[in-house]
Structure 1
Amino acid sequence: MGRLTGGDPSLLRRINSSVVLRALRGTAEPPALTFTDLVHDTGLSRPTVEGVVDGLIETGLVAETPPEAGVPGDPRRGRPARRFRFRAEAGHVLGVEIGAHRTAAVLADLTGRDAGTATRDVGETDCADVRLEQVRGAIGDVLRRSGVPRDSLRAVGVGSPGIVRADGTVGLSTALPGWTGLPLADRLRRSFRCPVLVENDANAAALAEHWKGAAVGTDDVVFVLAGLSPGAGSLIGGRLHRGFNGAAGEIGALHLLGREARPENLLSTTGEPLPPLDEPAVARVFALARHGDARATEAVDRYVRRLVHDVAALVLALDPELVVVGGWASGLDGVLEPLRRELERHCLRPPRVELSSLGATAVAVGALRLALDHTEEQLFAVEGAAAR
């Protein structure tokens, strides 16, 4: 590749194209922008804007909008000004959640606007091949229902349990059978002509809450994915913190540090551990505790004490402004007050603690955000070059 210099015209055209495209994308809903609007918003000259817009129309990313019906032009002022819009429908992104009991696929256009959702149930003992087949089925369902062709996809994001390496391989997973060592990105990439990006599920949920959930407007966040195998995702300065090996936030492994009791033992009301993937059983224990069952209340108290200690350790290390708790659909509200009290005891400045506002959709929405981030990087850094 040749060296780019400050006077390189191709670089300048790419920069100008990116600036104009960003301005148009920020107004995906009517009213569209005129050349005069774009000159004002970008600071570029009118001839430059006109040339860039023509190039973006050729790429299919921008379209000229017809004049509004019923609004005739003023004969004293000539014909109405031409208006342009970003074509959000020029491509799509997909977010996929892979869980112990279900898979979900969320489709959106290039502005992140929802275009459809599909889910499929899976069995907790299903092998990797069966689970991946259900993932493909959910993806096929949402594409078919929305009428979006597969080649319209610009990127696919995936949220998965386990420690996920940079190449999309699951380095370690105790949650799903046959998941450790699975080259997940490679297996799914065979079904697409676009990039497939895989992220840990708690990390994906942290991205989701920051995008459109309880952490909007907050850049230092810990998201706790509570369950029988708890994990956490962290944002530092608005950026996801994965750690050197992608294992940051694995608080589910803290029991190895001299504490033998696992969450499935702590939440047991019978003396026998809960099945490792039986999250519905966890929800039932929480429901019994809310109704005053003594054994369930004791079990929940044991679990909450462990969870708040683990979260407190993470908070002391990262000093977030906000802790968001998510996971099971019911019962989590009982964790908030004990967690707040514990953090007040241990932290010089305890963070706010909130319940996830996205609930069961957080992982899939975060995977969608992952795909959208990748697509935006490509749009603004590469696609604009087509305007040359």
Structure 2
Amino acid sequence: MGQLMGGDPSLLRKINQAAVLRALRAAGRGCSLTDLARTTGLSRPTVEGVLDGLARAGLVVETKAAETRAAQSTAADAAGARRLGRPARRFRFRAEAGRLLGVEVGARRISAVLADLAGRRLGEASRGVPPEASAEERLARIEQAARALLGEAGQGAPAPRAVGVGTPGIVGQDGSVALCTALPGWTGLPLGERLRELFGAPVLVENDANAAVLGERWVGAAAGCDDVVMVLAGLSPGAGSLIGGRLHRGHGGAAGEIGALHLLGRQATPERLLATSGTPIDPLDERAVTRVLAAARAGDPRAGEAVARLVERLTHDVAALVLALDPELVVVGGWAAGLDQVVEPLHRELERYCLRAPRVVASALGGGAVATGAVRLALDHLEAELFTVAEVPD
């Protein structure tokens, strides 16, 4: 959405409110009436009226006189001023007026991040969960992690204004899990509905790789890029893609499920891909994957051969997306430590097989990409709620 400008006091109040609120949030520490009027194109009386309404809604507060004087004094000192007039009234967006919650559902761990209404991180919590846990056990861990965070925020802390969730599997538009082979009992689960009942707030559910690419574009390695492929490069990889800055989910939410591509060539199963002996490795066991990656980095020849097989598989999977989407950037991430060592060999292989090889970089967020992207989902919902203006009826 482009810059929203108010222009006339007769415009709908919602348009003026959205314009003022957007300007205040962008200003960060505070903004004067004069600045707000100039930024939004509204008159000072209109801005004052809008601020009164936003203050009653708890979204805006006038900064204290001492804070205002301190800010003005600093500015005046910098300009060499000797005298100060009456301090201008200043207002700020109340980011503390609510909480946003981001949740990552994993095979062995539930992670949650708490943020304020500006998206600033306030805390995080995680809970281990057995990979064989039932859906009800996993939901209970989600509640435990979330309650721990909300409790740390202090007595009387606001309930979440919105909740974003990243989960393995194909996610329907209603937040239900259409298919998930990684988590027992997860297929068919009305996850969004269950969590809305739990938190009493809007819940946005997204595939984990899709959430990860949103996180990387927001505050990670893909910042400023509109055409991105994010690969969660485990033994059964998944990918999230941005096309023109918009998340590409596909017709049924199954875009990016590249972990099934090995079936086309009947290649080694994921369990055998990083095996350095006759014992297969669980595709969801990040610790086992990390051990193999560490051994390869240390020069172990069998582990090196295993990582070479992983790169070959990733090349096969990622090249399909690169040829179809022509992204600017491929971000490689995941839960296992040491995946950065596949970045350079993957880029070299893509240069061999793709008409135009994109840049390939390691994730800047690592294992936190999915939970960070889940916070971004909640923040997107909040911004749509605060800044989207309904059409004016004729």
TM over 0.5: yes
Offset at 1:24? 0.3
User: Which residue of the partner structure matches residue 5 of structure 2?
Assistant: none
SS of aligned partner of 1:224: strand
The unaligned stretches of length 5 or more in structure 1 are: 1-7
Q: How does 1:113-262 map to 2 (within 5 A)?
A: 113-147=120-154, 149=156, 151-262=158-269
Q: Tell me the residue number matched to 1:369.
A: 376
CA distance in 1, matches of 2:107, 2:11: 47
The answer (yes or no) to whether the contact 1:308–1:338 under 8 Å persists in 2 is no
Give the whole-Å Cα distance in 2 for the aligned partners of 1:153 and 1:332. 34
- 3-state SS, counterpart of residue 217 of structure 1: coil
Q: Which residue type is aligned with residue 68 of structure 1?
A: A
The aligned residue for residue 266 of structure 1 is 273
Cα distance in 2 for partners of 1:371, 1:118 equals: 17
Q: Tell me if structure 2 keeps the 8 A contact 1:150–1:192.
A: no
Q: Deviations over 1:175-216 (max 9, x none)?
A: 111111111111211111210111000000000000000000
SS of residue in 2 equivalent to 1:175? coil
1:17 matched to which residue of 2?
A: 17
Cα pair 1:28 1:87 within 8 Å, conserved = no
Cα separation, partners in 2 of 1:103 and 1:77, compared to 1, 3 Å: closer
Q: 1:47 matched to which residue of 2?
A: 45
C-alpha deviation, 1:280, in angstroms: 1.1
Could you give the per-residue CA deviations for residues 147-202 of structure 1, whole angstroms, max 9, x where no partner exists?
26575311000000011111111111111111111111112111112101110000
Which protein, 1 or 2, shows the higher relative CO under an 8 Å CA cutoff with sep ≥ 6? 1
Task: Give per-residue Cα distances to partners, 1:287-337, cap 9 Å, x unaligned.
Answer: 112222222221211121011111011111000000000003422122111
Gaps of 5+ in 2: 1-7, 74-80
Given that residues 151 and 193 in structure 1 are in contact (C-alpha distance below 8 angstroms), is that contact kept between their aligned partners in structure 2?
no
Q: Distance in 2 between matches of 1:135 and 1:11?
A: 44
What is aligned with 1:3? Answer: none
In structure 2, the partner of 1:4 is none
Matches within 5 A, 1:338-357: 338-357=345-364
Return the alpha-carbon distance in structure 2 between the equivalents of residues 78 and 346 of structure 1. 68
Output the TM-score relative to the length of structure 2. Answer: 0.90
| Residue 9 of structure 1: how far off its partner (Å) | 8.6
Contact 2:164 2:377 (C-alpha < 8 Å) held by counterparts: yes
Q: Secondary structure at the match of 1:314?
A: helix
Tell me, what secondary structure is at the counterpart of 1:198?
A: strand
Of stretches 150-159 and 18-27 in structure 1, the one that deviates more from structure 2 is 150-159
Tell me the TM-score normalized by structure 1. Answer: 0.91
Deviation at 1:11, TM superposition (A): 6.0
Instruction: Output the CA distance in 1 between the equivalents of 2:209 and 2:167.
Output: 8
User: Which amino acid in the other structure matches residue 91 of structure 1?
Assistant: G
CA distance in 2, matches of 1:266, 1:371: 36
CA distance in structure 2 between the aligned counterparts of 1:373 and 1:228, rounded to whole angstroms: 31
Indicate the RMSD between aligned Cα atoms, in angstroms.
2.3
Residues 228 and 263 of structure 1 are in contact (CA less than 8 Å); yes or no, is this contact kept in structure 2?
Answer: yes
* Residues 9 and 42, structure 2, Cα contact 8 Å, conserved in 1: no
Task: Give the superposition deviation at 1:257.
Answer: 1.3
Going from structure 1 to structure 2, the CA distance change for 1:221 and 1:127 (only over 3 Å counts) comes to: same
User: 1:286/1:55 Cα in 2 relative to 1: closer, same or farther (>3 Å)?
Assistant: same
Distance (whole Å) between structure 1 residues aligned to residue 212 and residue 379 of structure 2: 15
